[in-house]
Amino acid sequence: MAHKYNLTPQAVPLVNTKYRTIATQIPVPESLPVLAKLNAYEPISMSGQPPVIWDRAEGVNVYDRWGNKWLDWSSGVLITNAGHGHPDICAALRQAIDKPLLATYAFPHESRAELCEMLANTTPTGMDKVFLLSAGSETTENAIKLARTYGVRKYGPKKHVIVSFDGAFHGRTLGAQMIGGMSSLKDWIVQLPGGFVQVPFPDGFRCEDVSFDLFLATLAKAGVTPADVAGVITESYQGIGPNFLPDEYARRLGQWCKANDVVLIMDEVQAGFGRTGKFYCWEHYDLVPDLICCGKGVTSSLPLSAVIGRNDIMDMYAPGTMTSTHSASPLPVVAAIANLKVIKREKLTERAAELGPVLGKGLDALAAKYPSRIGKSLHRGLVGGLLIVKPGSKEPDAAAALAINERCMQKGLLMFAPVGMGGGCIKIAPPLTTPKDALEEGIAVLTESIAEVFGA
């Protein structure tokens, strides 16, 4: 169901700071025909975000046509790690357009070779192969295919099971939703094919048992042995929180996969490229994956994704049998090259690590102030979340979360709609270029908004 934002223009206090400007009613009356046109010609599934009509976005700000400026805490949806419209990325795109070189299918071009090398150099030795795609779902679909192919070819059809986690989100295509851990997204799949098993995610809140023994017990209860398992896939942090793996659990998971020749797939589509204060979030854990799924922040702009993996796994398919129409499309590729150079030169991974405690302190203070309404504060680097719950329970309070989100939007702080189980999580993901004073201003706006909604 779409989030029900109030589309009646609200008289809101004028705001004029360095990072925020609210100069008219929110939503803007003139924006309503645009929203109505989208409602008429798009499926309802595309609605549900705050009613802000984006006109341009630069750095850490989003602008509409009517004089309003928002401090962005969405990064699109964790896309613009290097900020919106970074000049280096725009320049690279202009140069490619002016050539022109806009589409190549699987024919070689120099930038494709450069980007593959750059991405391979971000991973451990032996993970030198990079398969460029367009969307995150494509990467997880291909990772499933590769893991299963590896297991079946090496050990026979018995070793085909893919293990994933409750609460996981790996995309919206068939295979991606089969490994996803949200049952509400699977009702369109009339007959569930075999070979996919979900285990509890040890978030320490809704699943209080954070021991790896729970993983083993769940597989045993399902009648799955290590010899059956081809691959395990997990988000490096679950996007519904962010929920991070406990360190000991992650260490034992990595050991179990290596001991049983199980392909370990880390889904970094949302978590990678400096977001958590490491280039990849899995680097926080004592494990080494076999396949890495990437996307979103790889370009800070255009659609591009990638599977990076072990050479022996990635090279199992013959020429022409694992490709994609827009694989390594020239514009996203040059954007990615420029983006990776910006992340390195401007030390954005290090910035996320430095600013992480600022965000964490602010979120933890809110959780401490409202212990009956904020079930948990979650954060690492420049990603965070607040689980909004009904008083004294662990039940998500979607209405309160939406009210907080909407109040922030009216004050010039923009986040995407609440996420997570029951729509109760306020998700925070500023660009990694966010100045410290802008981050502190955002925390102040969030604090003010929560006080108004909770009445304290």
Q: Could you identify the residue written with the tokens 């795609």?
A: 133
Give the global pTM.
0.94
Between CA 366 and CA 388 the distance in angstroms is 11
Longest dimension (CA), the chain: 66
User: Using one digit for the tens of pLDDT, what is the confidence trace for 57-86?
Assistant: 999 999 999 999 999 999 999 999 999 999
**How much of the chain, in percent, has pLDDT values that exceed 70?**
95
pLDDT at 441 over 80: yes
Tokens of 349: 């991974």
Between CA 128 and CA 292 the distance in angstroms is 11
- Which pLDDT value is given to residue 6? 94
Within 10 angstroms of residue 173's Cβ, the number of other Cβ atoms is: 14
Between CA 105 and CA 326 the distance in angstroms is 6
- DSSP classification of residue 328: T
Q: What is the mean pLDDT of residues 351-361?
A: 98
Between CA 120 and CA 126 the distance in angstroms is 9
Burial environment of residue 78 by CB neighbours within 10 A (0 to 12, 13 to 18, 19 or more): buried
How far does the chain reach from its first CA to its final CA, in angstroms?
30
Q: What is the DSSP string of 168-197?
A: ----SSHHHHHHSS-GGG-TT-SSPPSSEE
- Specify which residues 251 forms β-bridges with: none
User: Using one digit for the tens of pLDDT, what is the confidence trace for 374-429?
Assistant: 999 999 999 999 999 999 899 999 999 999 999 999 999 999 999 998 999 999 99
Residue 336 · residue 304 · CB < 8 Å: yes
Beta strands in 288-429 (DSSP E): 291-294, 305-309, 374-380, 383-388, 413-414, 425-428
Q: Is 307 strand, coil or helix?
A: strand
User: Using one digit for the tens of pLDDT, what is the confidence trace for 88-129?
Assistant: 999 999 999 999 999 999 999 999 999 999 999 999 999 999
pLDDT at 171 over 50: yes
User: Using one digit for the tens of pLDDT, what is the confidence trace for 19-29?
Assistant: 999 999 999 99
Average pLDDT of every residue of the chain: 94
User: Using one digit for the tens of pLDDT, what is the confidence trace for 239-261?
Assistant: 999 999 999 999 999 999 999 99
- DSSP classification of residue 19: S
Between CA 382 and CA 355 the distance in angstroms is 7
- Which pLDDT value is given to residue 1? 42
Between CA 183 and CA 431 the distance in angstroms is 31
- Which pLDDT value is given to residue 190? 44
Task: Catalogue all structural domains in the chain, each as residue range(s) with its CATH number.
Answer: 15-82+348-454 (3.90.1150.10), 87-345 (3.40.640.10)
User: Using one digit for the tens of pLDDT, what is the confidence trace for 186-237?
Assistant: 554 444 556 899 999 999 999 999 999 999 999 999 999 999 999 999 999 9
Burial pattern 229-258, b for ≥16 Cβ within 10 A else e, equals: bbbbbbbbbbbbbbbbbbeebbebbbebbe
- Which residues fall within 8 angstroms of residue 275, CB to CB, at 6 or more apart? 78, 81, 281, 297, 352, 381, 382, 383, 429, 432
- Which pLDDT value is given to residue 180? 63
Q: Could you identify the residue written with the tokens 């450069």?
A: 114
